Amino acid sequence: MVFKKFDDRSRGNFEPRPMVKGDWKCSECAVAITELPFEPAPDRPIYCRECWSKKRPPRFSR
């Protein structure tokens, strides 16, 4: 991802992806998850990064 900011006086204070901290479990492999790059919905299964990539393979051209 190319993101250049020239007016960046507050360097180091900017987080491109704030992680949401919590105590979850992967619905697939039951591994403990302590951080997520997004706020999880309580009524939706939560997957760890590995299971995510398994469920959502990189764009598959059909």
Taking the complex as a whole, how short is the minimal distance between the CB of residue 8 and Zn ion, in angstroms? 36
Q: Residue 34, Cα to own-chain centre: how many angstroms?
A: 11
Is residue 48 involved in binding Zn ion (CB under 5 A)? Answer: yes
Q: Looking at residue 53, what DSSP letter applies?
A: H
Rounded Cα distance between 7 and 33, Å, is: 36
- Bridge partners, 20 (sequence order): 36
Query: Of 24, 28, 40, 46, which one interacts with Zn ion (CB under 5 A)?
Result: 28
Stretch that binds Zn ion, among 7-15, 19-27, 37-45, 54-62 (CB under 5 A): 19-27
The residue ranges that bind Zn ion (CB under 5 A) are 26, 28-29, 31, 48, 51
